[in-house]
């Protein structure tokens, strides 16, 4: 009799346990559950599967969703995930973050993809991304930066002449900072060569060539413009790759200084974008 009375309670506990186990765990499953909630205008479930803190922040991205978007290509990198998401009339990206031992849709980043910025905002975002890519170049391939530079050029070409003129001052400001960075890095390479004259000849030759390339790019920036910025950015990326391939102890301190300079350049880029957004 006692066990018969306990059976309903036991059944309830089992149901609750199973409900907890049924929570989606992969980025794709979480995204599927999130978009189902968006389509059904279920704010509570949308909050459950996203970075939203409460239902008051849920706005369905400011549009109606007659059908659930299709999730296709998935890219997971550490605690971030990006899922190519498609509707019949458009495509965007669903962004996710891994937080508190679970995947959540990054509502803010996904909103930026669903509701893309204006041409000028897009250019400034691409501009900032170039700085971020540069700061990642030490010990990494320069291919991602080249792709971002191509995107930057395409974004520039979509701007109206008036918009380009409005951004001209920022290009000049960034060009000046970029030139300072090139000159300081060239000086660091020359100092390394002076302090390590016993370094292998092939390393000294590669560093000397890098210093010359930095000087050429710096001179090109005397006339600020997008093409000069592209050339200088590629030079930085190529030199970063050169440094990554050199394992000699003579360049260890140089690599550290290089990374600090690129990080500072990325922060300068970010501040320029923030100033543009505040206007």
Question: Is 82 in the same domain as 59?
Answer: yes
**Mean pLDDT within 9-37:** 71
**Mean pLDDT within 217-221:** 91
Q: Which residues contact 269 (CB under 8 A, 6 or more apart)?
A: 127, 128, 130, 131, 132, 174
Q: What is the CATH number of the domain that holds 69?
A: 3.10.450
CA torsion 168-119-148-30 (nearest 10°) is: 150
Tell me, yes or no, whether 5 lies in a domain: no
**Mean pLDDT within 221-240:** 84
Read off the pLDDT band of 136 (50, 70, 90). low
Question: Is 71 in the same domain as 203?
Answer: no
Q: Name residue, tokens 């970010």.
A: 270
Tens digits of residue pLDDT in 31-55: 999 999 999 999 999 999 999 999 9
**Mean pLDDT within 103-127:** 80
**What whole-number distance in Å separates Cα of residue 238 and Cα of residue 234?**
6
Read off the pLDDT band of 194 (50, 70, 90). very high
**What whole-number distance in Å separates Cα of residue 237 and Cα of residue 142?**
5
Structure tokens at 171: 């290009």
Per-residue model confidence (pLDDT) at position 6: 43
| b/e sequence 124-149, b meaning 16+ C-beta within 10 Å | bbbbbbbbbbbbbbbeeebeebbebb
Q: Which one of 54, 84, 114 terminates a domain? A: 114
Residue 122 has pLDDT above 80, yes or no: no
Per-residue model confidence (pLDDT) at position 213: 92
Per-residue model confidence (pLDDT) at position 107: 96
Could you tell me the pTM of the whole model? 0.54
Question: Is 41 in the same domain as 178?
Answer: no
Per-residue model confidence (pLDDT) at position 236: 83
**Edge-to-edge strand list for the sheet holding 80-87:** 70-77, 80-87, 90-99, 102-105
State what percent of residues in the chain have pLDDT above 90: 36
Tens digits of residue pLDDT in 51-110: 999 999 999 999 889 999 999 999 999 899 999 999 987 889 999 999 999 999 999 999
Question: Is 27 in the same domain as 130?
Answer: no
**What whole-number distance in Å separates Cα of residue 205 and Cα of residue 210?**
9
Question: Is 124 in the same domain as 247?
Answer: yes
> What average pLDDT does the structure give for the chain?
81
Read off the pLDDT band of 279 (50, 70, 90). low
Question: Is 94 in the same domain as 177?
Answer: no
Residue 198 has pLDDT above 80, yes or no: yes
| b/e sequence 58-87, b meaning 16+ C-beta within 10 Å | beebeeebeeebebeeeeeeeeebbbebee
Question: Is 32 in the same domain as 104?
Answer: yes
Residue 133 has pLDDT above 90, yes or no: no
Q: Which one of 73, 92, 114 terminates a domain? A: 114
Question: Is 110 in the same domain as 125?
Answer: no
Per-residue model confidence (pLDDT) at position 9: 46
Per-residue model confidence (pLDDT) at position 94: 96
Question: Is 95 in the same domain as 138?
Answer: no
Question: Is 135 in the same domain as 89?
Answer: no
> What is the domain extent for residue 261?
119-278
Tens digits of residue pLDDT in 140-178: 555 666 776 777 777 777 777 777 777 788 788 888 888
State what percent of residues in the chain have pLDDT above 70: 79
> Under DSSP, is residue 8 helix (H, G, I), strand (E, B) or coil?
helix
Q: Which one of 75, 94, 114 terminates a domain? A: 114
Question: Is 125 in the same domain as 248?
Answer: yes
């Amino acid at each position: 009799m006692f066990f018969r009375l306990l059976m309903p309670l036991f059944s309830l506990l089992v149901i609750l346990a199973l409900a907890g186990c049924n929570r989606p765990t992969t980025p794709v499953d979480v995204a599927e559950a999130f978009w189902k909630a968006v389509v059904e205008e279920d704010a509570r479930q949308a909050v459950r599967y996203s970075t939203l803190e409460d239902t008051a922040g849920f706005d369905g991205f400011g549009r109606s969703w007659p059908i659930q978007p299709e999730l296709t290509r998935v890219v997971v990198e550490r605690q971030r995930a990006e899922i190519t998401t498609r509707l019949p009339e458009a495509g965007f990206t669903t962004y996710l973050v891994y937080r508190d031992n679970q995947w959540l849709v990054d509502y803010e980043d996904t909103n930026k993809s669903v509701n893309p910025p204006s041409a000028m905002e897009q250019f400034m975002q691409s501009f900032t991304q170039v700085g971020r890519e540069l700061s990642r170049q030490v010990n990494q391939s320069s291919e991602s930066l080249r792709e971002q530079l191509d995107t930057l050029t395409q974004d520039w070409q979509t701007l109206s002449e008036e918009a380009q003129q409005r951004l001209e001052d920022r290009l000049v400001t960034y060009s000046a900072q970029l030139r300072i960075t090139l000159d300081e890095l060239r000086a660091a390479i020359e100092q390394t060569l002076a302090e390590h004259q016993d370094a292998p000849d092939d390393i000294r030759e590669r560093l000397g060539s890098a210093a010359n390339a930095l000087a050429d790019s710096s001179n090109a920036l005397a006339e600020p413009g997008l093409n000069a910025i592209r050339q200088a950015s590629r030079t930085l990326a190529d030199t970063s790759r050169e440094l990554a391939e050199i394992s000699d102890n003579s360049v260890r301190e140089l690599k550290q200084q290089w990374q600090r300079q690129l990080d500072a350049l990325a922060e300068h880029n970010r501040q320029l974008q923030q100033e543009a957004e505040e206007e």
